[in-house]
Amino acid sequence: MKAIVAERGQVTIPKPLRERLGITPRTAPDFFEEDGRLVAVKVVAEDSVAAVTGCIQLAKPVDGVIEEMRESIRESR
């Protein structure tokens, strides 16, 4: 499959190749040169929510924290 480099250096990856490799909008490929060839590797982005899940330790359960926040809002009215 061939593609043309546009004036701004952009290249459209052919649709059959994007579909086969699971390349979707916002995919950030990693580019490097290997033996005179341009190689692009699909980088699997880490789920940002999963990366931080469980990193905050609370003194009480989340439900208790939320209830305290709601009580504070009610009292301030």
Burial 35-60 (b: 16+ CB within 10 A, else e): eeeeeeeeeeeeeeeeeeeeeeeeee
Domains of the chain: 1-77 (2.10.260.10)
Q: Letter for the amino acid at 7? A: E
pLDDT, position 50: 76
pLDDT at 51 over 80: no
The model scores a pTM over 0.85: no
pLDDT digits (tens, 9 = 90+) for 12-36: 999 999 999 999 998 889 999 999 9
